[in-house]
Structure 1
């Protein structure tokens, strides 16, 4: 064996090949360099999409409904896989580690959001659900493509399927036991509103529906309960055509007929069931001797249904800022199918009312959410 060959082997073994035996540098062609960069960028992009789709959801706090636990301008991350990661191009989910528990801070789809922009099914044609960027619609009037992304809410889960929930003079009761307020929760109004005026301070008791429960849609249900049942059925069947019809009978004669087509209208008519109940109460006061009956009909995929068996558990959500939160007291229950993620950590916080140099709330960055 030659001395040169021995030197090369020892140099390679030690990683210290003598300079005279080191291979000459070869310049990479522009094409190979482009392919390398393209591969690196593509890999990073695919990994980011996987994380966004299955692992993490980013969320910005838009309102004060969770104060002072979460503040307007908080940016947070939630974990999707805890409750089940969404399956791409469907409304289904992979099995999760567990379901929402009482006191979890949960990110979920707003049950009252319509399927179509401006709730106008005649004006818009659904093109494709991108799932990441929202649903693309063709606007027949504007002759353009419109993006409609269902809104996400964040609230605290206070009750789950089978629990009895009630608010008694501002005090939350679950299963007939008083529930302590969140450590940073608050009330901002000392007044107690009567239920006939607003369900904020006096609510229930109601039993949160659970998987396997049969929802009846008879006239015996109140308008409120009918709309809540309708909401859960919609959440379990978001792609199935649905509409409901409310008929008012006075002395057994049809007084009016009001159609409710498309998705749930609660958001756009000031919690429609509440306004309807108030109007009905005023109507009965003006005609105390009349026999008043409200007939309620629900049609799913063109067929009238009088009962429905739930496939998922439901949950009751409330904001920590109890006097300033649009939550389950107004729009009812959230199906497991509409639950997105468990809130985990605040990664950034910005106070838009402060000067730019002092707007960042450094004390909130990295704070875990409980």
Structure 2
């Protein structure tokens, strides 16, 4: 079960704000009148009685205390920057499991929280951007991939080679490393390798990862519909993305054609690495870097 945190936050702000407003308009004036009435009836006011009459109801006290904090968090998280944790290796070597990243929420337009309706257009996703979006098959889950195809683009993937609008996207071999994604005990674990390439997508130069021993996927091609984006993971042989069918019953429908209203924001920085958040395993800040 996935908790809709934006909805919970909006409700918390609304409730705490209502309590603060209720106190400002109704309860605080009532307390002041009660104190004035008491002071008019006695020659010397008892400090303890004054304190009791001034005391706010506990629920109102909590609401007034939490409202400004929750309101600031809501504004920052909804319109400026939101933190995310990377749960899988689909974006290796750019992002690793346990990376904590920051996502620019206004890069692609100001959107209302919860309903995600764009109210102020700011910019559009560009080829090569690392983007967080809601998974089309389950919008309660956030995914992160790289923007490969823009609306109207023709995408072809054949022989582990990417083509965009008929142009081959060149990539240069940087290094060969042991494939750490091979399960323990697998007969090929000792010899399995992965290749790291430098690839140029639009204005962005970034790294991708391919397995030497993986099967070459069958050639396929797509045309990106208007208002949608074609997403791919940098870990090309271990990423569930726009290249794969949604189901065998609906072979022409792609989960990965991400519609504009499912966009969350643009990932721009790694600020911490903590693969297993617990006290015995402290976070590392050595990987703090901008995302390319």
TM-score band by shorter chain is: 0.5 to 0.7
Report the alpha carbon displacement of residue 178 of structure 1 after superposing the two structures with TM.
Answer: 2.2
Listed as ranges, the matches of 1:103-182 within 5 Å are 103-113=128-138, 150-179=140-169, 180=171, 181=199
Structure 2 residue 277 is matched with structure 1 residue 363:
no
Q: Give the count of matched residue pairs.
A: 199
User: Which protein shows a greater Rg?
Assistant: 1
Match for 2:83 among 42, 58, 72? 58
2 CA distance for matches of 1:106 and 1:368? 14
Asked if 1:209 is matched to 2:225, the reply is yes
State whether structure 2 residue 250 is matched by structure 1 residue 336.
no
Task: Provide TM-score, normalisation by structure 1.
Answer: 0.48
Deviations 1:162-191 (A, max 9, x none): 111111210111112222426332112444
Contact preservation (8 Å) 1:351, 1:361 = no
> Hey, what does 1:183 align to over in structure 2?
206
Structure 1 position 78, deviation (Å): 0.5
Identify if the C-alpha distance between structure 1 residues 99 and 42 changes in structure 2 by more than 3 Å, giving closer, same or farther: same
Structure 1 residue aligned with 2:270: 346
Higher-RCO chain (CA-CA 8 Å, sequence separation at least 6): 1
Deviation >6 Å, runs of 4+? 32-38
Q: State the alpha-carbon separation in 2 of the partners of residues 47 and 58 from structure 1.
A: 15
Residue 90, structure 1, aligned to residue 115, structure 2: yes
| Root mean square deviation of aligned Cα | 3.0
Structure 1 residues 51, 354: CA separation in 2 closer, same or farther (over 3 Å shift)? closer
Partner of 2:229: 315
2:127 maps to which residue? 102
In 2, the alpha carbon distance for the partners of 1:68 and 1:369 equals 11
Deviation at 1:60, TM superposition (A): 0.9
Partner Cα separation in structure 1 for residue 161 and residue 264 of structure 2: 28
